[in-house]
Amino acid sequence: MSEVSYKPVLVEPRTLADLFLMVQADVRWAATEDARDVSVTHIAPLDLARENAFAFLSNPKFREQLLRCQARVIALTATDFEWLQSQNIDTTRSTFAICAQPYALFAMVAQRLYSPAAPEKTSIHASAVIAPTAQIGKNVCIGAQVTVDEYAQIGDNVTLAAGVVVGRHVKIGANSHVYPNVALYHDCEIGARCIIHSGAVIGSDGFGFAPTPKGWHKIPQVGRVLVGDDVEIGANTTIDRGALTDTVIHNGVKIDNLVHIAHNCVIGARTAIAGCAAMAGSTEIGESCMIGGGALLGGHLRIADNTIVSGGTAIISDIKTAGQYTGIYPASTHREWERNAPLMRHLADLRKRIRGLQKNADTNQQGKD
């Protein structure tokens, strides 16, 4: 296999003062010059970082990479910086941002370096179709083939990329960015500073059917989807509108690609949901939870705040106590799996037989006594 190629994505030089890093009270700077004047043009992994890069170390097992790193700025913990100083190497080549959470600082720098600039003036493509009753804010960018339906409200500094469909009475908060071919169904609301990636569908009907002897009878879905501020929704994710009440995504939630959230679910603030996870209707996930990729959550569940659900885990009952929950059977060779699978099916019978044997043994022991 050939070596991994690396080509950094460069932007115009930005000083640390420009990136507002100097106002971070929990960061201590180690530099041979005024850190405010130090500039960076890109972010990079520690082992590939070169001049003018911003890199970070959050896992001590990669400390050795510090010895060869040529990044202009390196974020690391105080413990890792002390270790580096003990190696008797020249540390003047870089500026060090010493903090408790280097990864979080790196994320902030990356966001400020690469976030798309807000439109400087309103720009509406000639092929866009905008209803006369729609309200368009200041400095809005509307791309080709966008449709904005009646009574929609688009906030200031919003970008609607090509092919976006905004339904009737939809509201989109200021500084949000909607990527190509997103569908926002009628009456849904999107908060400020949201990012919605291509192909996402917000507000479609969920599985709302009543069984009858002649088949399935469709139930109109009359709720909405309410998305809070600072939410990111990944590509091809679907969030179903509520059946009677609303589906609610609270502030700061981060949703990966290909996630399905069914009708009337409530996702607590700052929760993160990884790709291909799915949840049935009316499930409520608490605040600051992490749902792993491919996790499956049944309907009408309640998940406690600060819960972690491992990837591929199926949850079919409430989680009342915070912690990490895993329900994945470890992988094995196919032959071993064929031997073990029948045993798994008969565990209940084996338990019943063992309890019977134990009961008989206890009875016999009492007879001897």
Q: Closest by alpha carbon to 262, among 292, 288, 285?
A: 285
pLDDT value, residue 5: 65
Q: Which residues of the chain does CATH 2.160.10.10 include?
A: 182-325
Count Cβ atoms below 10 Å from residue 139 Cβ, excluding itself: 16
Lowest mean pLDDT, pick from 42-46, 139-143, 180-184: 42-46
pLDDT value, residue 25: 54
pLDDT at 198 over 80: yes
Q: Are 100 and 57 in contact (CB under 8 A)?
A: no
How many residues comprise the chain? Answer: 369
Which class is domain 14-114?
alpha beta
pTM of the model: 0.85
Q: What is the mean pLDDT of residues 162-172?
A: 98
260 is catalytic: no
pLDDT value, residue 118: 67
pLDDT at 1 over 50: no
pLDDT value, residue 26: 74
pLDDT value, residue 120: 66
**Distance separating alpha carbons of residues 346 and 344, to the nearest angstrom:** 5
Q: Are 94 and 50 in contact (CB under 8 A)?
A: no
Q: Which two tokens stand for residue 217?
A: 């009878």
Instruction: Give tens-digit pLDDT for 209-243.
Output: 999 999 999 999 999 999 999 999 999 999 999 99
Instruction: Give tens-digit pLDDT for 235-247.
Output: 999 999 999 999 9
Q: What is the mean pLDDT of the chain?
A: 91
- Out of 260, 263, 300, 334, the active site residue is 263
Q: What is the mean pLDDT of residues 179-183?
A: 97
Instruction: Give tens-digit pLDDT for 106-143.
Output: 988 888 888 776 676 789 999 999 999 999 999 999 99
pLDDT at 168 over 90: yes
Q: Does domain 182-325 have CATH number 3.40.50.12780?
A: no
Q: Which two tokens stand for residue 344?
A: 């798994």
Q: Which residues of the chain does CATH 3.40.1390.10 include?
A: 14-114
